[in-house]
Amino acid sequence: MFNNVIVRVPGKSLSEGISGADEGKPIYNSAIVQHEYYVNALTKTGVNITVLPPLEEFPDSCFIEDNALCTSKCTIISRPGAETRRKEVQSSDLQEALGKFYKNIEEIKEPGTIEPGDIMMVGDHYYIGLSDRTNEEGAEQMIAILEKYGLSGETVTMKEMLHLKTGVNYLEHNNLLVAGEFKDDPRFDKFNKIEIPEDEAYAANCIWINDYIIVPAGYPKVKKAIEDLGQYKVLEVDTSEFRKVDGGLSCLSLRF
C-alpha cells in the first residue's frame, strides 16, 4: 500500500524537454491541465500528495520519478544518465520533501548513473534495466544499497526501450503488463503477463496505487484488458502532452 506521493508541477520550459518522439512540442497550458487531472486521480486512491513547484531551469523536472527511488526502508537519490538532469536531484525542495518522510537517505555516486524509470518494484525485489540512462555501475550501487536495508535487486538487459518501465510494469497480485522486448523475457514468465499490443505500446506504462490502476487515456484495448482482470478500479488520465517529451504516468510521481 502507498500512503504518500510527491509530484512536481511542470514548468513553462517543458517544451524544451528531452524528446525522442516526433510529435511536436508540448503545449504548456494543456500540460498544466493534464497534470491537475493526474493529481486528482492520485487523490482518489487515498494517498497524501506533496506538490512541489516548477523548476524552470530543468525542463524535465516534472518527471520526478527519475530523481529518487523511494522504498519501504530508505530513499536513494539518483544520478540521472541525462546530463541536463544531474543537478535537478539536488534541488532543496526535493531534499526537504524526502527528509520529511525518510531518515535513511542514500545517493548514487559518480561514475554510476541510474534513473528510477528503469526500476520496477515487485515486493521487496527491484528489477533494474540497463539502458542509455542507467549503467552497470549505477545498478550495482543501487543493488548494494538495497541489500544494506534487507531488500534485493537484479539487472535486466535492454535493447529497445528508453526505460524499463516504458515496457514492463507490475500491477501487484502477480499481474504484469509487458510490451515489446519484454514479452519473451523468461525472467517474467512467473507472472500473469498481460501482453500489450504494438499499436497501444505507450499504455504499457500504467501505475498501481492501492488497487487502483491509472491508465493513459486513449488506449481502449489496454484499459479493457485490465478491467477484465476484475481486481482493480481503473482511472484514465490524458498524458498526451507529456508523451511528446518521452514522459508517461509513472514518470510524473514518486509513490511510497
Note the pLDDT tens digit of each residue in 26-77: 999 999 999 999 999 999 999 999 999 999 999 999 999 999 999 999 999 9
Q: Is 163 annotated in the active site?
A: yes
Buried b (16+ CB within 10 A) or exposed e, 243-254: bbbbbbbbbbbb
pLDDT (tens digit per residue) in 119-150: 999 999 999 999 999 999 999 999 999 999 99
* Per-residue pLDDT at 21: 79
* Lookup: cell for 149: 536495508
C-alpha span between 160 and 23 (Å, rounded): 19
Whether the Cβ atoms of residue 35 and residue 28 lie closer than 8 Å to each other: no
> Which residue is associated with the grid cell 486528482?
40
What is the average pLDDT score of the chain? 97
Q: Is 163 exposed, middle or buried (0-12, 13-18, 19+ CB in 10 A)?
A: buried
Residue 199 has pLDDT above 90, yes or no: yes
Domains for the chain: give ranges and CATH numbers: 4-255 (3.75.10.10)
Band (pLDDT 50/70/90 cuts) for residue 81 is: very high
pLDDT at 26: 97
Whether 251 is a known active-site residue: answer yes
- What is the pLDDT, as a whole number, of residue 228? 98
Strand partners, 124: none
Are the beta carbons of 115 and 164 closer than 8 angstroms? no
Selected catalytic residue, list 62, 70, 206, 251: 251
Question: Which candidate, 9, 65, 21, 27, places its Cα nearest to that of 241?
Answer: 27
Selected catalytic residue, list 35, 62, 70, 163: 163
Task: State pTM to two decimals.
Answer: 0.97
